[in-house]
Chains A and B, each alone.
Chain A
Amino acid sequence: MTTNLVIRGTMLFSVGVFLALVLNLLQVQRNVTLFPPDVISSIFSSAWWVPPCCGTASAMIGLLYPCIDSRLGEPHKFKREWSSVMRCVAVFVGINHASAKVDFANNVQLSLTLAALSIGLWWTFDRSRSGFGLGIGIALLATLATQLLVYNGVFQYTSPDFLYIRSWLPCIFFAGVITMGNIGRQLALYEYKVVQEKTHQD
């Protein structure tokens, strides 16, 4: 049981690290149009702690979602398939892509669009109240944490538009939480199946 938990956590962690790296790259691209050869190395060296943090957070979220589902006693029934999960991940990357690549007229428009997209993501792939609540909560917490970090000067944005940070950050966090929760639930479903089989064996 615990080994299963560890495996799931590891998988979620690696997914989180990978997504963090890729999406960070997308964000960097927004500022630098053409990459000279050593930009990549500078990306990987500048804030080394960001991907592990994202990985840890995603592992926690991915484990938390199925746990809360079972605690609340309302198992998630909506679209429990890997193809749906993949679709969800693709849409999440797409939201990031849009935030990085698309030129918006102003930041309000950007934030509103991203918020709408995130809510759309939740409605398309999740539709559970617990998921929504958890997503909002974690997004706010993460934004607060980032705010603190920026306030203390550990980290900073190239072009902050709202109290030292980018205003689209909560939306991205929310979409990320929904996505990781989706993956975590799917993994937990797999484990649940295994357990069922085991009981069947015994």
Chain B
Amino acid sequence: MTLRERLREKISAAFYHHGLLCASYPVPIILFTSASILTCCYPLLRLPLPGTGPVEFTTGVRDYTVPSHEPQGDLGERPDWYRGPPVAYIQQVLVKAAVSPWDSSLVPVDVFRSPLGRVFSLLEEIRNHVHSDSTGVRSLEALCLQVTDLLPGLRRMQSVLPEHGCLLVSPGNYWQNQRELFDSDPDPLKTIQKHEPKGLHTSATLRDLLFGVPGKHTGVSHYNRKRVVTYTITVVLVSYDTRFLGSLRSRLKQLHPSANCSLRDDHMVHVHFKEEIGIAELIPLVTTYIILFAYIYFSTRKIDMVKSKWGLALAAVVTVLSSLLMSVGLCTLFGLTPTLNGGEIFPYLVVVIGLENVLVLTKSVVSTPVDLEVKLRIAQGLSNESWSIMKNMATELCIILIGYFTLVPAIQEFCLFAVVGLVSDFFLQMFFFTTVLSIDIRRMELADLNRRLPAEAGLPPPKPGPLRPREAPPPPRPSPHTITLQTPAFRNLRLPKRLRVVYFLARTRLAQRIIMVGTVIWIGILVYTDPAGLRTYLAAQVSEQSPLGDSGGGGLPPHLGVAPVFHAGDPTSTLSVLPAPEPTPLPENQSQGHHGSAGAGPRPQVPPAVPQITWGAEDEEGWRRLSFRHWPSLFSYYNITLAKRYISILPVIPVTLHLSPQEAIETRHPQDTRHPPPPIPKVSADLQTDLTLYKVAALGLAAGVLLVLLLFCLYRVLCPRNYGQNGVAHGRRRRGDLPCDDYGYSPPVSEISPLLLRGHSMDIECLASDGMLLASCCLAGQIRVWDAQTGDCLTVIPNHGLRRSSSSGCWEQRDGWDNCHLLRRRSVPARPTLFTDQPDLTPLIDTNFTCQPPSHLATPPRGGFDFGGLVERAYLEHESPSPSTYPSPSSAASSSPPSAAHLQRRRSLGDAPTLPAQDRASTAGTQATADWDSSVWAMELRGNLIAAGRSSGKLELWDAVEGSLRCSNEDGVSGITALAFLNNRIVAARLNGSLDFFTVEINKPLGLLQYRGAPGRGSMPPSPCYSSEDVISCQLTRSVQCAHQKPITVLRAAAGRVVTGSQDHTVRVYRLEDSCCLFTLQGHSGGITAIYIDQTMVLASGGQDGAICLWDVLTGSRVSHVYGHRGDVTSLVCTTSCVISSGLDDLICIWDRSTGIKLYSIQQEVGCGASLGVISESLLVTGGQGCVSFWDLNFGDLLQTVYLGQSSDGQGVRQLLVLDNAAIVCDFGSELSLVYVPSVLEKLD
């Protein structure tokens, strides 16, 4: 034993034990795993949230030093980004200028022209400022941030933004910092507007950049009531020099003193910017994520054979994700701060770690033997794959280690993360995923058990419930026990998984709630961290309340903030009504008319207003009112990124400029006066703000209405038309007293009690019905006619074969008996309770039945053949002497093939064409009246005529009520395999492939003399009845000799067409009137086994190849072609929207009729696949082992299972017939079961 093998064995054993452990204690292990995940992720809480705005940190100016690069641990509040020098220092010179005193001869342009003009001299001053002391001479040129080219894409800004020099920004940049250009500019406002971007722009505009204050606060407009112009000169410095800045500050203050300025100048603010993610950077990121999701999708799609595919896929994804989080958390814990962008490397990490192990585990566990215990299955599955898992893991670790030795820091870091991620992934796979898998497998087995429980036990559900006899006329029913709906947990819903998830989501409104909560949290975070958001607002509120705050309104808009200044000294200013024509606007000042004396007084005396320049707290950090993208965008124009770096903003230098009216007039451009006077606002500013509010509200309302309309239209377009109708239909059901299922859907079937029709002695072979009568024929050849309404046996047409059977050979008898006997033994293995009340049969054995046929007829042979063990014994005793005592053998002999399933018989016959010959031989010597030797292979019922096709090729017409043979036809010799009876025509398909058309002629005109039972509720017209006096003859009108090359297996007639399907792979369509062949439909690659055609000319066929074809009967073209089954298609039914097929694989598939897409499938019990029927558009009924099940077709939902009898052991429902009055007839061994579906009847009304 090599080392490798030993190692392998050990690993395998370890995995086995581990699997046992996981499957034994699932809950503690999951708890343990969750706890360890949370512990490992705990360090992540310290990492910053992505997507928030810039962060600030304030230090004092006085003792400022450039922070060192090394992190200093003890400086508690200092953020960790505050390291090293900033990208730049920002020094703003805040200029407030006003023309004072205001003169009525001034035009609006004067408000800003001359104040703006002063910027050039200020600029000059700043540029030329030189500080010289003992350490040397410093000028701005040496200290400022030298910028080079603008980015190539910004050519249009070249004229405005500085290039190749100091980054010094002021409104003067609009005029290239040249006074002459400004003076010759006829319209400065237009120049400013020219550079504004069109459309909505949220980030910093050029105007904001140059003015340094938000646009509406500059006061550069025609409608500036304050007549104060505010702008800044922004100097960007690359290094901090206290003395130079101090001298500049004092110089400016000295030149332009600000009287009432109390701005604090001892704080500098450092602003740290997060990484910016632009669209261009987002595209590769999004691509990688799309690839990642595709990978996850394709991987999890392979998970199969488990209870909840989605649950396992989720568990797999959770495993991978939490292993990544764990790896990041662990790395952070051990001091490795991630420098890589987590979002970028994340997809690659997932891809490296992969979902393969998880899938391999699942597959391995699922492929273990099902009959093992869950624990052992998990353990075995784990140990099977242990070696490959370990090998893969080792390989991956090796690759990553190689990557670690590339010595590239970024790759090294990636590898480190990947290693930790791999190890934690392995841990999670072993503990978390294995446990989840064990839980899932256990659930699946439980579900299997639940599904099998009712059928296997064969017991009525636990609910005892008194046996409620039906109120129907015939009271003595053999134990009609009702079965109420099972509890939802027991019901096996056949909905596709994805639909179930969608329904679950829809029911709980989970997605909406999560989105809502997420949005609220996100908005909260944004509002709190946004620089212009809550925090600033709170700060403003605090400063407003503090006594240090300016006289009223720190955080309020300026025109309100200044108001109180005038309020006291200017009580008479009432400006509600304004004088109309005046060359200059009325100097309306800030104290707006709250006074009611508007109309009362004469023209108010307007006092000469003095524009007041005030300095408030809001000016202290005026940059806060700018967009937080202001500085990044300014720097980005020069290809300098602020991402993950910080800038330091120095306290502003206030500059107050008072200009005389004289100066203002002097600096006027000749065109300035030509400007029309601004439209005089008719309302006060207060009202105006109100109006703005109203406008916003109205706009919002309009937008809301529009949105609602849009959504409505979308809804109408997208939602299916019958969406609402469905709801109505559901509402019409009495939801109150019916049990609702999980989806609020109440099943239409409330309670169902089967009627058992007993009387046949052997398994029932043929069933036919016309809605009112029901004819059945058993293997013994006995035909019984029942009332489909009440279940009464009306007529018995016995098989008189015993008379003839005595003349037959002994061996045939023996064979037949053996066959029959075996059959009985197989199908009735244990029925002891039934036998207790049966008459003692031992005397009958010695009785010669031939002596007493009438009595035999009079009493229905109840249990006549249920000899069971008694007969077996008797048979052994009397092996040779009198075989003729047994009534059944002869018929059983000729109909030996039917001991198998109906369909199988047909197939076997097709393969063995020797049988008809034998039949023929046996029929040769019989009389012309009735043929008792051959068995009935096909039967049809119309009116009160039963058409029976026999294996001898004879067609018989019986009177259903009287039980007399009306006529027979022996034109054909080949066995009749299928019959169709439509109007007065009978079509018979024969074993040799020929097709015979018969006409039934009634010599006396047919009249509806006889009234039999209640008229059918169905829409079908009542079948013609033939009175007993009529002489009925049956004429062969046409015989198509070679309709098919091989035996005809299926024959269906509807809508004036006869459709035959044969073993020769073709389907033929004939016209009923003239028996003319219209089409030969080819397309199947196997014999045809099922055909469906209805009044609406829908034709579907299914073959031995498992294919289903839909045909257009009018053109003979194939509409669709799907492969649905492994093995033969045994039965086909169409509704208006779907096609239902069942196959030998015991699967019922429901297809969409128009698209041919499989909607879902229902697994049937073995041997019951062929029995299915559609009661209404949405109700499907299928047969099972001793029960029939009702399904909702729309949802694939099991509505109800009805057990047909108490002793329903192992008897499958092989045939199922849906009658017009919403009853179902199914054969059930030797019994028939008539099941009414009452609520469907109500619906039909």
Contact = CB atoms under 8 A, between A and B. Distances in A.
Given A34-B639, A42-B153, A113-B406, A93 B411 contact: no
A40 B276 CA distance: 16
B153 A90 contact: no
B288 A81 contact: no
B302 interface: yes
A89 B291 contact: yes
A93 B284 CA distance: 9
B643 interface: yes
B344 A81 contact: no
Interface string A80-105: 01110111011101100110011111
B643 A34 contact: yes
Given A33-B641, A83-B295, A113 B302 contact: no
B291 A36 contact: no
B33 interface: no
Contacts of B257: none
Given A35-B278, A35-B280, A109 B408 contact: yes
B291 A86 contact: yes
B637 interface: yes
A167 to B, nearest CB: 16
A89 B280 CA distance: 20
A83 to B, nearest CB: 4
A97 B283 contact: no
B154 interface: yes
Contacts of B278: 34-35
Given A35-B278, A102-B410, A201 B1085 contact: yes
A97 B348 contact: yes
B636 A36 contact: yes
Contacts of B402: 116
A34 B154 CA distance: 14
A23 to B, nearest CB: 8
B351 interface: yes
Contact of B295 (A37, A38, A90, A113): A90
A19 B505 CA distance: 36
Given A22-B284, A83-B299, A86-B294, A34 B641 contact: yes
Contacts of A202: 1085
Interface in A128-157: none
Interface in B387-434: 399, 402, 406-411
B287 interface: yes
B411 A102 contact: yes
A51 B351 CA distance: 26
Contact of A40 (B280, B298, B641): B280
A90 B632 CA distance: 32
Contacts of A109: 406-408
A97 B288 contact: yes
B354 interface: yes
Contacts of A163: none
A90 B639 contact: no
B513 to A, nearest CB: 32
A50 to B, nearest CB: 16
Given A35-B280, A98-B411, A90 B347 contact: yes
Nearest to B292: A90
A147 B915 CA distance: 84
Interface of B: prevailing SS:
helix
Interface in A5-48: 18, 22-23, 25-26, 28-29, 32-40, 42-43
Nearest to A37: B153
A120 interface: yes
A101 B410 contact: yes
B281 A35 contact: yes
Contact of A83 (B279, B298, B399, B411): B298
Given A36-B637, A109-B408, A91 B279 contact: no
A97 B284 contact: yes
B298 A33 contact: no
A102 B636 CA distance: 22
A82 B284 contact: no
B279 A90 contact: no
Nearest to A102: B410
A35 B632 CA distance: 11
B151 interface: yes
Nearest to B635: A34
Contacts of A33: 639, 641, 643
A101 B344 contact: yes
A90 B351 contact: yes
A94 B280 contact: no
Given A109-B408, A201-B1085, A34 B276 contact: yes
A187 B283 CA distance: 26
A40 B281 CA distance: 10
Q: Which of B284, B411, B637 has the most CB of A within 10 A?
A: B284
A105 B408 contact: yes
A55 B152 CA distance: 29
Nearest to A32: B639
A91 B292 CA distance: 10
Contacts of A18: 287
Contacts of B287: 18, 22, 93
Given A22-B287, A102-B408, A102-B411, A81 B295 contact: no
B351 A26 contact: no
B1029 to A, nearest CB: 58
Contact of A87 (B276, B295, B637): B295
B278 to A, nearest CB: 4
Interface in B765-781: none
Interface string A187-202: 0000000000000011
Interface of A: 18, 22-23, 25-26, 28-29, 32-40, 42-43, 81-83, 85-87, 89-91, 93-94, 97-98, 101-105, 109, 113, 116, 120, 201-202
21 contacts: A22-B284, A25-B284, A29-B280, A36-B636, A38-B153, A39-B153, A82-B294, A83-B295, A83-B299, A86-B291, A86-B294, A86-B298, A87-B351, A94-B347, A94-B348, A97-B288, A103-B408, A103-B409, A103-B410, A109-B408, A113-B408
Task: Give 5 nearest A-B pairs by CB, closest first.
Answer: A86-B295, A83-B298, A82-B298, A38-B153, A83-B299
Interface of B: 151-154, 276, 278-281, 283-284, 287-288, 291-292, 294-295, 298-299, 301-302, 344, 347-348, 351, 354-355, 399, 402, 406-411, 632, 636-637, 639, 641, 643, 1085
